[in-house]
Amino acid sequence: MSAAVASRLTAVCRQFQRVLTVSSHTQTQYATRAFSTFHSCQQSRMYDSWCFRSPMNNRAVHTSCVRKGLEEFFDLPENWGEQTVKSGAPWTAKQLRVKSNEDLHKLWYVFLKEKNMLLTLEQEAKRQRLPMPSPERLKKVERSMKRLDTVVEEREDSLRLLQTGQERGRPGEWRRNVFGKTFWYRFREHPIPWYLNSRYKRRRFFEPSHVAPYTRLSLEKYLRSKIRKEKREKRNQKSLAAMFPKKTALASDH
Amino acid sequence: HHIRMISEGSCDTEDWSYDLGNPQLRIFRPTFNLTLVRPGKEQPPDTVQFRIPLEMTKFDVRNYLEKIYSVPVAAVRTRIQYCTNKKRNHLNQRVKRPDYKVAYVQLAQQQTFQFPDIFPEKDQKHEEGSVEEMQEKFMEDERQRQKSDPRRGGVTEWFGL
């Protein structure tokens, strides 16, 4: 069963591989543990049930728990001093949507730790005035985290719509500020009602009468810029069509 | 149970206000990033130095390290490093270097931490016929050419003959 599971795992996070290296470490040069029983190895917990496809590393499979906390701020020791470190593609939203909520929650922390490691590496590289190995990993992690956020938000939205019919998690409304601009005002929680809140009453959510002409002017400006943009686009297309007429294109095909 | 995993948007930019009787405020998917840095000044052996976001507090750092990294924390001290707004760009506009917060974390249980050397010298073997190997050979030749005659025994060219 474990072999089948191992074969299912195409690639595994650094976190898991670390364990195998950690168990052979009797004494590391930079972190000493006075009491080795600080972390109880939770072997029973199931990392093999995750069909985990990690973007991070294409390495052999190891399953065990992670001990040694501060080691996780650094890469695996064999990568230190390398010019480039191999890493896979970032997670796409499509791949993330297949995962359960628990998996996404755990994956978020995997991304977080990876990002912390990369930031540490970047800062140390700046300190030593050396190039950081494979800086594209940072972008990959950031994109994966953003996509995870999108997926979770989608699920939250759909759940909320089904259960309550509310479109937004946080209530708000359209209001006009002193400058005549309409904006989305998000409500805050207060222990007292608004008519007892003196600071709130000083905020004016209406435009004074002398500001009204300027709203009209800014609206006109906005419309003018929009029309000008469209006209420019059309003019561009026309000039391009004049440079590259369709007749010659068709003629060159045949 | 699933709903507990999802939070009301884990954005840390919300104003987290707490009133008596409300449930404990929690963040389900923190967006805080910690950067371990090499200390500029000599620090005691149990102290680890981090750069943390400005919005993070000592309690946040302690919980973060204990829960996510399972690192036992005895004490956390923080300070805010103000970075210059004096530098100017090619348009003579002032450019601000972003401020950051530094946390000095003391480990519990008499543990020590020494910042490791992450960029050790490694001799690389380039593959045959590659561009890097040719470049290396070229550089080696140049260096050899620049060296003075070994038969002169370290005497400079200034002395004639």
- pTM, 2 dp: 0.72
DSSP A77-133: GGGTT-S-----PPPPHHHHHTS-HHHHHHHHHHHHHHHHHHHHHHHHHHHHT-PPS
Percentage above 70 pLDDT, chain B = 91
Q: How far is B34 from chain A (nearest CA, A)?
A: 6
Task: Look at residue A8 and tell me whether its pLDDT is greater than 70.
Answer: no
Q: Is A154 on the interface with B (CB under 8 A)?
A: no
Mean pLDDT to the nearest integer, B28-37:
94
pLDDT of residue B141: 94
User: Which ipTM score applies to this complex?
Assistant: 0.80
pLDDT of residue A210: 95
**Contact assessment for residue A23 and residue A64, using Cβ atoms and an 8 Å cutoff:** yes
The residue whose two tokens read 């050899």 is B144
Percentage above 90 pLDDT, chain B = 62
Chain-centroid distance of CA A38 in Å reads 33
pLDDT of residue B34: 96
Contact residues for A205 (Cβ-Cβ < 8 A; gap 6+)? A175, A176, A177, A185
Q: H/E element holding A202?
A: helix A198-202
Q: How far is B143 from chain A (nearest CA, A)?
A: 22
The pLDDT-based confidence of B10 (bands split at 50, 70, 90) is very low
Say which residue, B45 or B8, is predicted with more confidence: B45
A127 and B119 within 8 Å at the Cβ level: the answer is no
Q: What is the DSSP letter of B99?
A: P
C-alpha distances in angstroms, B84 versus B81, B88, B100?
A: 10, 10, 12
pLDDT of residue A249: 77
Interface test with A, best of B35, B61, B126 (most A CBs within 10 A): B35
pLDDT of residue A18: 55
Mean pLDDT to the nearest integer, B82-103:
97
The pLDDT-based confidence of A40 (bands split at 50, 70, 90) is very low
DSSP A146-192: HHHHHHHHHHHHHHHHHHT--S-SS-EEEEE-TTS-EEEEEP---SS
**Contact assessment for residue A101 and residue A155, using Cβ atoms and an 8 Å cutoff:** yes
Residues on chain B bordering chain A, Cβ-to-Cβ distance under 8 angstroms: 2-3, 5-6, 8-9, 15, 17, 19, 28-30, 33-38, 48, 51, 65, 68-72, 109-122, 124
Contact residues for A5 (Cβ-Cβ < 8 A; gap 6+)? A48, A49
Task: Look at residue A11 and tell me whether its pLDDT is greater than 70.
Answer: no
- Say how far apart CA B125 and CA A197 lie, in whole Å: 72
pLDDT digits (tens, 9 = 90+) for B36-71: 999 999 999 999 999 999 999 999 999 999 999 999
**Cα(first)–Cα(last) distance of chain A, in Å?**
61
Nearest-CB residue to B120 (from A81, A116, A152): A81
CB atoms within 10 A of CB B78: 17
Percentage above 90 pLDDT, chain A = 65
Q: How far is B50 from chain A (nearest CA, A)?
A: 9
Length of chain B: 161
Task: Tell me the chain A residues in contact with residue B67 when contact means C-beta distances shorter than 8 Å.
Answer: none
Task: Look at residue A179 and tell me whether its pLDDT is greater than 60.
Answer: yes
Mean pLDDT to the nearest integer, B107-123:
91
* Segment among A183-192, B5-14, B87-96 with least mean pLDDT: B5-14
Q: H/E element holding B3?
A: helix B2-5
Task: Look at residue A231 and tell me whether its pLDDT is greater than 90.
Answer: yes
C-alpha distances in angstroms, B28 versus A108, B9, B128, B142?
A: 10, 9, 52, 59
The residue whose two tokens read 């796409």 is A92
pLDDT of residue A15: 54
pLDDT of residue A253: 74
Chain-centroid distance of CA B138 in Å reads 35
Residues 103-122 of A with CB under 8 A from B: 104-105, 108-109, 112-113, 115-116, 119-122
Q: H/E element holding B63?
A: helix B58-68
